[in-house]
Amino acid sequence: MADAATTPRRRAWDALAAGSPFDVLVIGGGCSGLGVAVDAADRGLRVALVERDDFAAGSSSRSTKLVHGGVRYLQRGDVKLVREALHERGLLLRNAPHLCHRRRFVIPAWAWWERPWYGLGMKAYDALAGRLGLGPSRWLSREQALAALPNAKRDRLRGAITYEDGQFDDARLCVALARTAQERGAVLLNHAEVAALVHERGRVAGAEVQSGPLGHAVVRAEVVVNCTGPFSDGVLAMDRLGGGVPAGGLIAPSRGSHVVLDAAFLGGPDALMVPRTPDGRVLFAIPWHGRVVVGTTDEPLDHAPRDPRPSEQEVAFLLQTAAGVMEKAPGRADVRASFAGVRPLVRPAGAGTNTAKLSRDHTLRVSASGLITLAGGKWTTYRRMAEDAVDRVVELGGFHAPPCGTRRLPLHGAPAAREVAEPAGAFEPRDLFGSLAPALDELCRERPGWNQPLHPSLPHRVGEVAWAARHEMAETLEDALARRLRVTLLDVEAARASAAPAAAAMAAELGWDDAQQAAAEARFLATLPPAGAGPPAAVG
């Protein structure tokens, strides 16, 4: 346990509050903000990043866990976005093979025309991937389809199409990005909120930052980048000299919800994709960390909540849709957990309320005050989004910096380079740490009990909580159990039972006394549904 005055968090705060200006201040610690921090720091710029909650606390930890081009976008004819995303998919699988891997997807065909029709579409998907493709799509017979998806509806099943795509752990990739930025000299701080923008000589010149017990500081920077996703309009509203929020708002938020089931509802390592649901979306059922994630929905919102929750109607819709394609149908009692994220879709002029039809491409907006806002986009293209934003930062700030170098930048923990990550097998959480796994094993042997399972139904060890506090900037139990270990997304009841041992591990690392440990445990439990309330329908 480190002395409070010498913790990484205190050192980061001291660097932010020292008064020396940075080249770039990034507001927002999701995938886009962290991507900007990595790219800018890799080019040699002095970078600071502040995040109001935790890294990836918002949309970036609540995705469908796919690194993909987007089959639905191909259906809509958005070829440019699909091609770009497939290229970025290939780079991600190469640069972070411990966190991103291949996964085979199966599209069942029940009508006579579906197998050739979907097969042609997937051949186009293969072609757009070019040299970074993961392998050709294939036709399957009925027998082969049932072998791949043992729980698929058998009645009238004619066969299937398979294709290769990417899968990842979104929040852990954000942690890897944060650590990569730090290794290149960036100063990052979570649980640090921007209270106001600082203006000097008609331009944005930094921000006033508040971070709980650490206090208040003015962080100055030549260029400020707004990467707050669904909350972009809130930062724009602070920019009184830059024009504020555009008429109607820049962001059209949309909620995407998911339910988490036991692995038996697929019965094998392949993922299921239904190309058209009753509401015109795509449904995925994907093996993930020993469970199955089923999603997603697209519900327009009038504002972006900090902790979005699935509605009962969305949970019912996902279960009903899954029941239509699964022989053993999931029911309400089979839901282990559920979660929802808010898509930060960019609202074009004159757009209607159907967020499903809005583009997933990203937008760069430079206000009259020089504030850069990076909005929209999708997880898979975070690196390209960051490259575009940092190019604009270099131009606006007049910096002498080299071109983007992140196309071949291994992320923190990446093992020896492989051209393409191997297909996923059985989930082993130790694999998520890549080259750091031996160091994790050593930490887990430091104290009695740390090498023991956190919970009988979870694949994590108690020591992984201590690692999150020591090395990954976890400050709260929710940081550790929701985003570093993903426990609350896998099994809410197991998360409840894990609170006490996890709090003890964090107390040992962060120096909490008994009262602080009890308070931390109580705050975490308050984020979960009450015990005995039935299946968890709304766990963020």
- 303-358 pLDDT, tens digit per residue, is 999 999 999 999 999 999 999 999 999 999 999 999 999 999 888 754 444 444 44
- What is the tally of structural domains in the chain? 3
Task: Give the mean model confidence (pLDDT) for residues 394-419.
Answer: 92
Report whether pLDDT(534) > 70. Answer: no
Task: Give the mean model confidence (pLDDT) for residues 178-205.
Answer: 97
Identify whether residues 162 and 177 lie together within a single domain.
no
Q: DSSP class of residue 480?
A: I
DSSP assignment of 163-190 equals EEEEEE-HHHHHHHHHHHHHHTT-EEES
Is 438 part of a structural domain of the chain? yes
Taking only the tens place, the pLDDT of each residue in 66-103 is 998 877 777 666 788 888 899 999 999 999 999 999 99
Taking only the tens place, the pLDDT of each residue in 434-448 is 999 999 999 999 999
Identify whether residues 132 and 24 lie together within a single domain.
no
Identify whether residues 122 and 226 lie together within a single domain.
no
Identify whether residues 205 and 341 lie together within a single domain.
no
Question: Residue 34 corresponds to which tokens in the numbers above?
Answer: 């962290």
CATH, residue 292? 3.30.9.10
Taking only the tens place, the pLDDT of each residue in 216-273 is 999 999 999 999 999 999 999 999 888 888 888 899 999 999 999 999 999 999 999 9
Is 418 part of a structural domain of the chain? no
pLDDT at 360: 55
Q: Which of 325, 345, 365 is where one domain is finished?
A: 345
Q: Which of 326, 345, 364 is where one domain is finished?
A: 345
Better-scored residue on pLDDT, 377 or 51: 51
Identify whether residues 225 and 239 lie together within a single domain.
yes
The distance from CA 515 to its chain's CA centroid, rounded to whole angstroms, is: 33
Q: Are 36 and 23 in contact (CB under 8 A)?
A: no
pLDDT at 379: 94
In 3D space, the residue among 409, 386, 441, 387 whose CA is nearest the CA of residue 176 turns out to be 409
Identify whether residues 17 and 144 lie together within a single domain.
no
37: domain range?
Answer: 4-59+172-250+355-408
Is 200 part of a structural domain of the chain? yes
pLDDT at 131: 83
| Strand 283-288 versus strand 291-295 pairing type | antiparallel
Is 289 part of a structural domain of the chain? yes
Is 257 part of a structural domain of the chain? yes
| Angle, CA 70 vertex, CA 64 and CA 75 arms, to 5° | 130
Identify whether residues 404 and 452 lie together within a single domain.
no
Identify whether residues 221 and 259 lie together within a single domain.
no
CATH, residue 387? 3.50.50.60
Identify whether residues 240 and 379 lie together within a single domain.
yes
Q: Determine how many CB atoms are found less than 10 A away from the CB of residue 438.
A: 10
Q: What is the rounded CA–CA span in Å between residue 263 and residue 260?
A: 9
Is 205 part of a structural domain of the chain? yes
Identify whether residues 238 and 136 lie together within a single domain.
no
pLDDT at 133: 87
Strand partners, 378: none
pLDDT at 350: 45
Identify whether residues 162 and 257 lie together within a single domain.
yes
Is 531 part of a structural domain of the chain? no
pLDDT at 506: 97
Strand partners, 161: 107, 139
Is 46 part of a structural domain of the chain? yes
Identify whether residues 236 and 257 lie together within a single domain.
no
Q: Are 401 and 386 in contact (CB under 8 A)?
A: no
